[in-house]
Amino acid sequence: ILNVEQSPQSLHVQEGDSTNFTCSFPSSNFYALHWYRWETAKSPEALFVMTLNGDEKKKGRISATLNTKEGYSYLYIKGSQPEDSATYLCALLNFGNEKLTFGTGTRLTIIP
């Protein structure tokens, strides 16, 4: 059983502040890491798919980095806005496996 861990479990951030959170995973047999944003009453939305060690991806104010050797990925949000409030999920895909293993998510609340 793969253990994908996300921390913190929940986070309150003042509007305008920047924040980051972590996804940790076993580094052996790594193939890809996915990040999703899940707003309440909506469907999870893909943010990034990352495959290479040292990858850094950016989408607007959100960016992510990947370290496959030590088994972690960081998600950064710059200048948080109320619409950033959501649960952020990471998911690991290993070689030879079609199954994405999800973490339990980081629930982010932006305080206006």
Partner 1 sequence: ETGVTQTPRHLVMGMTNKKSLKCEQHLGHNAMYWYKQSAKKPLELMFVYNFKEQTENNSVPSRFSPECPNSSHLFLHLHTLQPEDSALYLCASSQDAGRNTIYFGEGSWLTVV
Please say which residue, 75 or 93, places its beta carbon nearer to partner 1.
93
Of the candidates 52, 60, 83, 98, which one interacts with partner 1 according to CB under 8 A?
Answer: 98
Length of the chain: 112
The conformation of residue 52, written as its DSSP 8-state character, comes to S
- Choices 16-24, 58-66, 70-78, 86-94 (CB under 8 A): range interacting with partner 1: 86-94
Strands (E), the chain: 5-7, 10-14, 19-24, 30-38, 45-50, 56-59, 62-67, 72-77, 86-94, 101-102, 106-111
Q: How far is the CB of 12 from partner 1 (least distance, A)?
A: 19
Mark 39-68 with x for binding to partner 1 (rule: CB under 8 A) and - for no binding. --xxxxxx--x-x-----------------
Size of site (CB under 8 A) for partner 1: 24
- State the residue for tokens 């502040």: 17
